[in-house]
Amino acid sequence: MRVIVGIGIDVVDLPRFAATLERTPQLRTRLFTEGERGLSVESLAARFAAKEAVAKALGAPPGLRHLDAEVVTVEHGRPELKVSGSVAERAAELGVRTWHISLTHDGSVAIAYVIAER
């Protein structure tokens, strides 16, 4: 039987996010994996929202690292979540075996929705 462990959603203001990345370029290294860093600002904002939504789905415990949640693109452009380190540990504690993720960006916002399932 499948059980939802947690649901997370996050919204990012694109102009504000872009200004923050421009003002503080080292954030790309602190927040995004090597595979994510070269993406457009819109895609980075959606991925940042996903990382925040993952934390919410896991109950927002302290100590989760943004680099331990990576959004990769698989066939037909579908996003998939890869977890490691602190995120994988917390997910294992909660029995999470499956992740569902949806990303979008339009106009001035990026949104991510994450479901953690046991």
Buried b (16+ CB within 10 A) or exposed e, 53-70: bbbbbbeeeeebebbbbb
CATH at 31: 3.90.470.20
In this prediction, residue 1 carries a pLDDT of: 81
pLDDT at residue 2 in the model? 86
Each residue's pLDDT tens digit, 20-66 = 999 999 999 999 999 999 999 999 999 999 999 999 999 999 999 99
Domain range for 41 is 4-117
Instruction: Report in angstroms the alpha-carbon separations of 8 from 21, 46, 63, 75, 94.
Output: 24, 13, 17, 24, 15
Flag whether the pTM goes above 0.85: yes
What digits encode the pLDDT tens for the residues 87-109?
999 999 999 999 999 999 999 99
Provide the greatest CA pair distance for the chain.
47
The domain tally of the chain equals 1
